[in-house]
Amino acid sequence: MTHTMNTICMIAAAGENNALAKDGDLPWHLPDDFKRFKKLTSGHAIIMGRKTFDGFDKPLPNRKHIIITRDKKYTTDFEGCTVVHSLEDALEMVKDDSLSFIIGGGEIYKQGQEFANKIELTRIHNSFEGADTFFPEIDLSNWELVTEEFHPEDNRHAFSFTYLTYARS
pLDDT digits (tens, 9 = 90+) for 145-161: 999 999 999 999 999 99
Position 1 in a domain: no
pLDDT digits (tens, 9 = 90+) for 49-70: 999 999 898 999 999 999 999 9
pLDDT digits (tens, 9 = 90+) for 68-102: 999 999 999 899 999 999 999 999 999 999 999 99
Position 45 in a domain: yes
Position 60 in a domain: yes
Write out the residue range of the structural domain in which residue 74 sits. Answer: 7-168
How far apart (Å, rounded) are the C-alpha atoms in residues 168 and 142? Answer: 6
Report the number of distinct structural domains present in the chain.
1
Position 2 in a domain: no
User: What CATH number does the domain containing 27 carry?
Assistant: 3.40.430.10
Q: Is 150 left (phi over 0), alpha (psi -120 to 50) or beta?
A: beta
